[in-house]
Amino acid sequence: MGSLFIFWTKNLSMIWMFFLLTFQLSGIFHFSPRKVSLLPTLMLIKKSTYPPIFSAIKILAVNSNDS
């Protein structure tokens, strides 16, 4: 059960990072007022989301080293 949860968390964080990257690139390449106004929100989301993702990756690294 624990390993299934870790696997799900790992995939979710990868999807979430891809999602943020895609939005960031679309904001850079297509300057529309709506997307530009989204950028500060995305920056806030990034700041609040990356630390948990990195801590999850650290947990994964520790768990894989143990086995």
Cα–Cα dist 57/45, whole Å: 18
Q: Which pTM value belongs to this model?
A: 0.26
Show Cβ contacts of residue 62 under 8 Å, excluding neighbours closer than 6 positions: none
How distant, in Å, are the alpha carbons of 6, 17, 61, 62 from that of 51? 16, 12, 15, 16
> If you average pLDDT over every residue of the chain, what do you get?
60
Residue 11: pLDDT over 60: yes
Residue 18: per-residue pLDDT: 73
Cα–Cα dist 48/61, whole Å: 22
Cα–Cα dist 19/45, whole Å: 11
Mean pLDDT value of segment 37-62 = 60
Q: In the structure, what pLDDT confidence band is assigned to residue 54 with cuts at 50, 70 and 90?
A: low
Residue 37: pLDDT over 60: no
